Amino acid sequence: MKLTGNKEISSNTKAAKKKTLKIGMYTTAITAVAIAIVVFINLFVTSLPSDKVKFDTTSEELYSISEQTEQIVKGIDEDITIYIIASETTYDMSVYEYLERYTALNDNITIELKDPVLYPNFAGQYTDSEAEENSLIVVSGENSRYIPYSSIYVSDYSYDSSTGSYTSSYSFDVENQVTSAIDYVTNENLPIVYTLSGHGEVTFSDYSSAITEYIGNENITVNSLSLLKEGQIPEDADAIAILEPSSDISQDEFTMLKEYLDNGGNILIMAGSVTSDMANLISLMNYYGMNPVNGLVVEGDDNYYYLYQTYLLPDYESHSITEPLANYYVMVPMAQGIELITPTGKDNSKEEPETEETDNTQEEADTSEDERNVTVQGLLVTSDYAYSKVAGDNITTYEKEDGDIDGPFYVAAIAQEENEETTGKMVYIGSVYVMDDSINQVTSGGNADFVMNSLEYMLDRDETISIRAKSLDTEYLTIDSGTAFKWQVILIGIIPLALIIWGGAVCYQRRKM
């Protein structure tokens, strides 16, 4: 009996071991299959474009493509290759994943890595400078543009006069750079703007590095033009900029500019010192329903200026130029006002400008006797308490004096004339200082955007307005001391006290039960 029992125990032990072995083999097989499935899924997901498997949760939407870029990229028919000057182990993953979003929008766009060690002469085909690692080269056919890596991650240093220290900011500008490059290599008709010279004018670069950079990003070519030397306006002129002239244009120049407008040309005037002796320039503005107001605009409402009463913060009038600026200010320092008048219908370059009183709060001026189809509209307007100091730059007081002119005034306006086949446009901005980099910093880029929006509207390039660099700076929650004290009372006092009272009430109810 004892022996039989041992045999039964041995048999049961073997059966148990055999069962355990089967379960172990089964578990091992299931685990191996599960691991294989996970590996396969990971490999499959890794092979997918980043825009399909990675989602942008950053507050600045660092890895999201803007609507402007989508419109431009989706309409491209040409093959485009974006080369990254880096190896498979050194390329910038953030830039690469961002570029993958371009390839997802259009199958004609491809990305290639070019190892500078294996291909040392490759970048030299497209740039004369020494290529930085992780720089980009955008190529379509025979057209190309080199984007240095230092233009993708941008550092900006500025002096804060209130604290007496320098501050730094960092931004990710890959979308602006790449979209601009794609537009450049695929667009055969890039705009050309001529800046008038010969009358003491300034240039864009004299006042603003920001606007100069934006003009370059928008692929706008800027050339100087002396009508006295050339004798005519070039046929490829998409717009002419007249920036702070110190003397009048000639009668011949007036005639050429007027004919240019009649044929659908565009003129941008930025000036804050158009004086009565500039009869021809005033007549050109009168031709499109604008008349400069004598003097310097001073704002009487402290909600409409910054620090100084001549540093204006005007209201926006409704227009596609100003609509994108709803969350920004535009500051117009040392401005000359403008009134909207009936557009003149004749060559009155040697006559006195019109002085008939008009309601300069109107948005559209009436057409003249010869029924020209000209509409004039204000863009930036002062408060009702503004006035123009006739002493101009020689003012000695901000107080209103006898002879000063009552406002409100427009300090920026637009006029356009629609003919059967063409539309001529003129934009007037009452101060060249609106371009100044230091002023643009105060408005967080609002001034540069306003100037660029005006220029692009004239050039019919609304789709490329304002692709901003994305900030990489840490955002801090800043609150005033009063708000901080209120939250301290709530979090340290009221909420704990409420919990104690509630807990006591619960304990009291339980004891009664």
- Quick one: which of 412, 417, 207 has its CA closest to 292? 412
CB of 415 closer than 8 Å to CB of 446: no
pLDDT for 362 equals 44
pLDDT for 430 equals 92
Residues 6+ apart with CB under 8 A from 436: 207, 208, 333, 447
Percent of the chain residues topping a pLDDT of 90: 34
pLDDT band at 50 (very low <50, low <70, confident <90, very high): low
Query: In this structure, are strands 332-333 and 308-312 parallel, antiparallel, or unpaired?
Result: antiparallel
pLDDT for 368 equals 40
Q: What is the pLDDT of residues 1-39, one digit of tens each?
A: 455 555 566 666 666 666 676 777 777 878 888 888 888
pLDDT for 146 equals 92
Helix (H) or strand (E) holding 324: none
Residue with tokens 């379509």: 140
Residues 6+ apart with CB under 8 A from 459: 191, 193, 220, 238, 239, 266
Mean pLDDT, residues 60-82: 78
pLDDT for 23 equals 74
Q: DSSP letters of 369-419?
A: TT---EEEEEEEE--TT-EEETTGGG-S-SS--TTPEE---EEEEEEEEE-
Q: What is the pLDDT of residues 315-344, one digit of tens each?
A: 999 998 888 888 888 999 999 999 999 888
Q: Quote the Cα angle for 234-235-238, to 5°.
A: 90
152 burial (CB, 10 Å; 0-12 / 13-18 / 19+) is buried
Name the residue with higher pLDDT: 368 or 46.
46
Q: How many CB atoms lie within 10 A of CB 368?
A: 16
CB of 261 closer than 8 Å to CB of 347: no
Residue 491 DSSP class: I
Sheet order of strands, 153-160 included: 153-160, 165-172, 470-471
pLDDT for 356 equals 43
CB of 304 closer than 8 Å to CB of 343: no
Name the residue with higher pLDDT: 298 or 420.
298
Residue with tokens 């050194």: 90
Mean pLDDT, residues 77-106: 91
Residue 358 pLDDT more than 60?
no
Q: What is the pLDDT of residues 448-483, one digit of tens each?
A: 889 998 998 998 865 544 555 555 544 445 455 567
Residue 463 DSSP class: G
Of 216-220, 255-259, 500-504, which range is least confident?
216-220
Residue with tokens 């794609």: 182
Residue 400 pLDDT more than 50?
yes
> What number of residues does the chain have?
513
Residue 355 pLDDT more than 70?
no
